[in-house]
Amino acid sequence: MVKTTINLDDEIYAEIVKESIEKYGSTRIMSKIINQWLRKSDATKSRKRIMFKVREDLASLDADKEIRKGWGGSSK
């Protein structure tokens, strides 16, 4: 475990204190609440797959290569 000091907005601090008291009866375990929030946030970040259909005449093209061409970069 690493200890550090962070500056929180007043509203966020109030929410953490409230949740800590509701769940654990004191503010001594606020770091547990913050860790839970961060884990939840990390789990919900863009880990979703994007699905799309490609026209048949474009299906054989290398998408990365075509994107680089469009940006004017190299097509290695």
Would you say 49 and 39 are in contact if contact means Cβ atoms under 8 Å apart? no
Length of the chain: 76
Note the pLDDT of residue 61: 73
From residue 63, how far is each of 37, 41, 54, 55 by CA, in Å? 37, 31, 10, 13
Q: Between 13 and 63, where is the model more confident?
A: 13
Mean pLDDT, rounded, for 57-73: 75
Model pLDDT for residues 37-62, shown as the tens digit of each residue: 888 876 666 566 667 777 777 777 77
Distance CA 11, CA 5 (A): 17
pTM (global) more than 0.95: no
CA 74 distance to own-chain centroid: 31
Note the pLDDT of residue 10: 93
